[in-house]
Amino acid sequence: MIHAAFLMFLLPLAGFVVLALSGRRLGDPLAGWVGTATVTGSFVVACITAAGLLGMPGPARHFDQTLFTWIPVGGLNVKAALLVDPLSMTMALFVTGVSALIHLYSIGYMKGDRDYPKFFLYMNLFVASMLLLVLGDNLLFTFVGWEGVGVCSYWLVAFWFGRPSAASAGKKAFLYNRLADVGFLVAIFLVFERTGTLQYQGIFAHVSSIDPASRTAICLLLFAAAAGKSAQLPLFPWLADAMEGPTPVSALIHAATMVTAGVYLMCRINPILGLSHPAQLVVASVGVATAFVAATIGCAQQDIKKVLAYSTVSQLGYMFLAVGTGAYEAAIFLMVAHAFFKAELFLGAGSVIHGLDDEQDLKRMGNLRRWMPLTFATFIFGWLAIAGIPPLAGFWAKGDVLDNAYVRFPALWFVGLVTAALTAYYMSRLSALAFWGDDRWRDVLKARPGQHGQGAEPHDAPRVMAVPLVVLAVLSFVGGVLLLPWHPGWAPLSWLGPVFGARLYDAHLSGTSLWVLGLVDTVVALGGLGVALPLWSAQAHRPELEPAVLQRSYFLDDIYDAVIGRPGQALARFSAVVVDNRIIDGAVNGVGRLARLSGTGLRRVQTGFVRQYALGIVIGAVGLLAFMVARAWS
C-alpha cells in the first residue's frame, strides 16, 4: 500500500487540472467541493502510506519510489522519484490534513467571490507543489516544488489583484523569495559539483568527502533560501504584507505549510548541517534573533492578521533555533504543533473578519466573546497554546526547543525565554482587544452597511467554517499531550529517529532540570499573559506601549527602500539610459548592422541563375579537392 505514495501529490494535481479545464462550469460551490475532495483523498493516501511505513521495522523505514527518469544529460541523471521516510511523511500528513481542513473552511469563506473556482485551482496546485517539495527525493525535485509553492503564493497573495496593495504585496513576496532562491540554485550547483549527484541519499553518502568549507557554504546557501521562504531576518518583511491575501491563504500558506518549507529543508539536510558548526551557529542565532525581533513588532501591531503574521515569523525563528541546536525533532514537533494552533488562530481571525464585514483593525473590535461564542471558545485554545500554557501543544513544543537551546547555547536560550514572555504578552493583547473590552465594532457596522444590513451584529461563522475551527482547537489541545512519552513503549517522537539520530538533551539534562525548565517556561508565559490581559481589556488605546518604531517594524521597509530600492532604481535608470541605450544597443546594433550588411552582400550571390549556382558548386568542390589532395602530399 506504500506504493500508492505517488497518488498523494497526483490527486491535488488532478484536481488542479479538472478545475483548470472546467472550473467555471462547476462554479460555486461545486468547484470548492472538488478541490476539498482531492486534498482529502490525498490525506487518506498519506495516512495509508504512513501506516505502511509504520509496518516496517524502525531503521528500514525508507522507501524510494522512482516514477521515471526525468533528465539524463551527461553526468546529471535526475529521476522523478519520491522519498517516503518518517520526516517526509510527517510533513505530508500535516500538510494534507491542515490543507483539507482549510479547503473545507474556504468553501464558506470564499462564497460569492468572483473568482471562486480560480481560488481552489490555485490552492490545489499549491498543495500538489508542497507535496512535491516534501516528498522529492532529490534537490532538484524539491526545488521544483519550492518554486511551485512560491508562484502559488504569489498568485494567492495577489488574489484580489484589483486592490493595488494586494498586487504589490504579491510582487513583494515573489521578489523576496526569488532573491533568496538564488541561494538554493547555487547550492544545487555546488552540491552537484562536489558529489556528482543531487539525490539526498547519494549526497549524504558522500558527505564525508565534502571539504568543511563547502559543507558550510552549502548549508548557508540553503539557509539563505530557507530564510526567504520562511521569512527570517533580514528577509521577513514580505510575510506581513502577504496578509493581503484571503485569510484561508494566510492560514494555509503563510502560517501552517509553505513558510515551514525552509525548516523542512534544513532538517532534510541534517547530515550535512550536523557536520558544520559555523552554519549551525548562524542558523540558531538568526532564528532566535528573528524570534525576538518579530515578537517585539507583534506587540504593537493593530491589524489582527499582522499580529499573527509576526507571530508566525517569531515561531519560525524558534524552529530555526531548534534546527541550529541540532534538535531537529523539536523543530518538527513545534512545526506540527504550530501548524495546528496557528491555522486555528488564523481561521478564528478569519471568522472575526468575516463577521465584522472585513474589518481587520483590532482597535475597532472588542467584546466579541458575547457575539461569537464558538469563535471565541475555539480561539482560546489557539491563544493559550501559542502562549505556552500547559498542557496545550505549544507548551510542550516550545519547551522542547528551549531545553535544547539551554544545553547547547545558554545565551540564545535566554533570548528565547524573553521571547516566550513577549509571545504570551502580544497574543493576550490580541485576545483582549478582540474579545474583551467595549463593543467598539458598533461604529464599523453602522458606518458600513455590508451584507448583514444596517445595525447588524457580529455572528458566528456558518457550519462549514465551524468544523475546521473545532477540529483544529482539539488538535491544539491534545497535539502536545499525545506526543509525550507517557509510557516507555509510547515514544512517538522517536519515529523520526531514523532520519535524525538520537535526541540531543537526553544525555545532558536530568529529570529535575527538565522540571525546573518547564516551570520557568510556565511562569514566564503566565507572566506575559497576566500583564497583557487586564492591561488591554481595560483600555484599548495606549500609545505609550505602541511606539512607532515597533508599529513600523523597525522601519525595515524604509531602510530597504533607502539602501536597496532607491539606489537600485537609480542603477536601473542608469542602465536603461546609458548602458542599454548607448553601450549595449550600440554594440548590438553595430553587430546587427554588420550582419545585415554582410547578409545583403552575400545575398547578391543569390542571383537565381542556375549556371552561377553550378559554378558555386564547382568552386566549392575544387576548393575541397585541393585541400584534401594537399593533405595527401604534405
Binding site for another protein (CB under 8 A): 17, 20-21, 24-25, 68-74, 115, 118, 121, 592, 595-596, 598-600, 602-603, 605-606, 608, 610, 612-614, 616-617, 619-621, 623-625, 627-629, 631-633
Long-range pairs for 590-593 at CB < 8 Å and ≥24 separation? none
Q: Are 546 and 306 in contact (CB under 8 A)?
A: no
Shortest gap between Cβ of 601 and another protein (angstroms)?
Answer: 9
Nearer to another protein among residue 55 and residue 599 (C-beta): 599
Would you call 484 helix, strand, or coil by DSSP? coil
Cα gap 79→65, rounded to integer Å: 10
Nearer to another protein among residue 20 and residue 478 (C-beta): 20
Shortest gap between Cβ of 369 and another protein (angstroms)?
Answer: 40
Nearer to another protein among residue 507 and residue 617 (C-beta): 617
Nearer to another protein among residue 208 and residue 600 (C-beta): 600
Nearer to another protein among residue 576 and residue 619 (C-beta): 619
Nearer to another protein among residue 124 and residue 276 (C-beta): 124
Long-range pairs for 374-378 at CB < 8 Å and ≥24 separation? 374/460, 374/461, 374/466, 374/469, 374/470, 375/348, 375/351, 375/460, 375/461, 375/469, 376/435, 377/473, 378/344, 378/348, 378/469, 378/470, 378/472, 378/473
| Spatial CA neighbour of 270 closest among 336, 225, 222, 229 | 222
Shortest gap between Cβ of 163 and another protein (angstroms)?
Answer: 15
Shortest gap between Cβ of 131 and another protein (angstroms)?
Answer: 19
DSSP letters of 500-551?
Answer: H-S-SGGGT--HHHHHHHHHHHHHHHHHHHHHHHHHHHH-S--GGGS-HHHH
Nearer to another protein among residue 165 and residue 606 (C-beta): 606
Nearer to another protein among residue 552 and residue 596 (C-beta): 596
Nearer to another protein among residue 144 and residue 281 (C-beta): 144
All three cell numbers of 107, joined, read: 468553501
Q: Are 450 and 358 in contact (CB under 8 A)?
A: yes
Q: Which helix (H) or strand (E) holds 77?
A: strand 76-84
Shortest gap between Cβ of 200 and another protein (angstroms)?
Answer: 20
Shortest gap between Cβ of 67 and another protein (angstroms)?
Answer: 11
Q: Are 273 and 341 in contact (CB under 8 A)?
A: no
Shortest gap between Cβ of 476 and another protein (angstroms)?
Answer: 36
Nearer to another protein among residue 152 and residue 255 (C-beta): 152
Shortest gap between Cβ of 24 and another protein (angstroms)?
Answer: 7
| Spatial CA neighbour of 315 closest among 346, 348, 337, 282 | 337
Shortest gap between Cβ of 626 and another protein (angstroms)?
Answer: 9
DSSP letters of 260-275?
Answer: GHHHHHHHHTHHHHTT
All three cell numbers of 230, joined, read: 520562511
Nearer to another protein among residue 129 and residue 280 (C-beta): 129
Partners of 63 in the beta sheet?
84
Q: Are 394 and 480 in contact (CB under 8 A)?
A: yes
Shortest gap between Cβ of 13 and another protein (angstroms)?
Answer: 12
All three cell numbers of 574, joined, read: 542608469
Shortest gap between Cβ of 113 and another protein (angstroms)?
Answer: 12
Q: Is 452 exposed, middle or buried (0-12, 13-18, 19+ CB in 10 A)?
A: middle
Partners of 48 in the beta sheet?
none
Nearer to another protein among residue 14 and residue 478 (C-beta): 14
Would you call 87 helix, strand, or coil by DSSP? helix
Shortest gap between Cβ of 171 and another protein (angstroms)?
Answer: 17
Q: Which helix (H) or strand (E) holds 499?
A: helix 497-500
- The residue behind cell 523597525 is 554
Nearer to another protein among residue 507 and residue 602 (C-beta): 602
Shortest gap between Cβ of 84 and another protein (angstroms)?
Answer: 22
Spell out the residues 6+ positions from residue 235 whose beta carbon is closer than 8 angstroms to its own. 176, 179, 180, 227, 228
